[in-house]
Structure 1
Amino acid sequence: MLQGHGDDGYLYKQELAADFSTNVWYGGAPDGLKEHLFQQWEKVQRYPEVLAESLREKIAGFYGFSTENILVTNGSTESIYLVAQAFQQSRSTITIPAFAEYEDACRIFQHQLSFLSWAELENETLPDTDLLFICNPNNPTGAVFTALELAITNNPEILFIVDEAFIEFTFSVTSVIDLVSKYDNLIVLRSMTKAYAIPGLRLGYIAAGTSLIERLSSYKMPWSVNTLAIAAGHYIFDHYEKLQFPAAQVLADKTDFVNALADSPLTVYPSHTHFFLARTNRYTAAALKQFLLKEFNILIRDAGNFRGLTESHLRIATLNKSKNQLLINALAEWKHI
């Protein structure tokens, strides 16, 4: 899917007053990162490390892993396509609703696809499949699956692909990355673009057992992670503790935001993250998106293209209180058109 993601503000000419379509941390990149990257500029005159080896070693050391347990990638999207390629023509199941790239990548590499609803996952109704893709916390719903280790243990024949792109945005579930040395049927995908607000740099990593990383590495193109992205990764892990965004405050703001939407023409669904799914009770999400853009320069995520959702669904990410209020006020107008 080359179009139809969130954060598509570049497609519109006007300056946005607020962008609720992206679920990247709204506070911007970590302090000092921009200055650090400017200091690295001359390094772009040479090729980057073939496999981002120095960052791979640093990430592995952070978790107490061997370097053979980590593979640095050009964002989680490269990770997804690598998995699909390395296990091409597998029987794969995607837990829905879900990020479209799981399905797109699997179709490119001729997987036999099936789909599992989140309710079926929670009821432990797992299919007969080779690979199972789970985004935890889920995008776009913000739901969490807390029985993941039990599922991994009870289904050794299934390779679990767990996308933790939004793990920093919840306190309701913890990462399973420490389990990759315990289970050989687990691959964890991690993003560094969401919590550190650097999606334009494209940076992520895969954690898995050594044989799985070796298999994925055999399909990886060289130099996919650029020099500045590698430098950003080093900076973040070198200053890890002081660069964490205020997750507790953001989630508290989300609660206030959702409460304030109670009188709006939206039905808001429960979420464990700073973003949440909603349904417009008037017209369609596409119509609401155009109304908000035209009248208020506000952008939301039309979620109608997520498998399992409808043309009425939209995703909203929490911003600061003043911008949240802009949407609350605009929805009051939508209520009366």
Structure 2
Amino acid sequence: MERTATSRRGRLRRLGLLLAAVPVVIWAGYHLGEAGASWTAAWASLSDIGWRRLLLLGTVWLTGLWVHTFVLDASLPGLTHPRALTLNLSGSAVANLLPLGGVAGTVLNLTMVRGWGHTNRDFARFVVVSKVWDVAARLLLPFAAVLALLAAGRLHPWLPWLGITVPAALAGGLLVAASLGRSRPLLRLVTLASLAFRTIPGVRGAAWTDAVAALLDGVEELVRRRWRPLTAGMTGYCVSEGVLLWLCLTAVGLTVPVPVLLAGLAAARALTLAAVTPGGAGLVETGAIAVLIGLGTDPTGALAGVLLFRGFVFAAEIPVGGLAVLLWLATRRRGIRPNPA
């Protein structure tokens, strides 16, 4: 009974965050005009993009997704690249379509993986390893962007940004270290957070340390054997997304320096961690556009370029992921089963 009440409070809390995010996004979109952005001009710029340019952008987007399969393959021994791509697209489609749909996407992926002969334990380890590398990359990228901006002399003042990105980078490093078997610093930090949050009514933090330790159980051996493809795959995926964002900005007539491009990409990737709206919709676009404008990019061009970029990495994943689910269902009904991992 207590667990049911806690679960209900958690759902209400998440729903409250979603409802609170909607007016913030609407307000930010409305006030882009005050920064000089024109929605009419942005849509006109997008409508002028030819099909050859769109085909190139789509190819780069799909290439990035294929590169990311190396991370997923390394996280689940026996997983093939086509199945990894299916997992990625189907899970993203559900997460991008439904409010707080990440759990539903994970359940769908679990069903797929079990049908392919893997165990629940295999899947749990797969989720932990792939998410650790993904979250660590999202936390480390803003710090890299700040360093690039400092080197280019484009960040004033610089101290507040270092104050934000250095702790994030340290958190990413702690995650990677914990997956490699050096989990004590991370567990100490979790224990401190647990003690702090335990004083808040309705928040249960007492068991956080045990939960994190349980998640990391059995991960070390896999990561030590496969850290190279994990690192290479995640690095390649970040680079491919950077290339995609650069091509999207170029398609609407913008030329931005590499440090500014890196900052826009870092904002877009980091804000997806705030999974309040489906796929971070609204929050990601607003943050990335604000960063680009703040660093001197043309407001209308930044608006058009980021919308085009998100059209691929967010919107396009819904129909393509839906197709991946349909193909999986079709092969499942025909009784096509792979060899166990």
TM-score, structure 1 length as denominator?
Answer: 0.27
Structure of greater relative contact order (alpha carbons < 8 Å, 6+ residues apart) = 2
Q: Which structure has greater strand proportion? A: 1
User: Per residue, is there more helix in 1 or in 2?
Assistant: 2
TM-score between both structures, scaled by the size of structure 2? 0.26
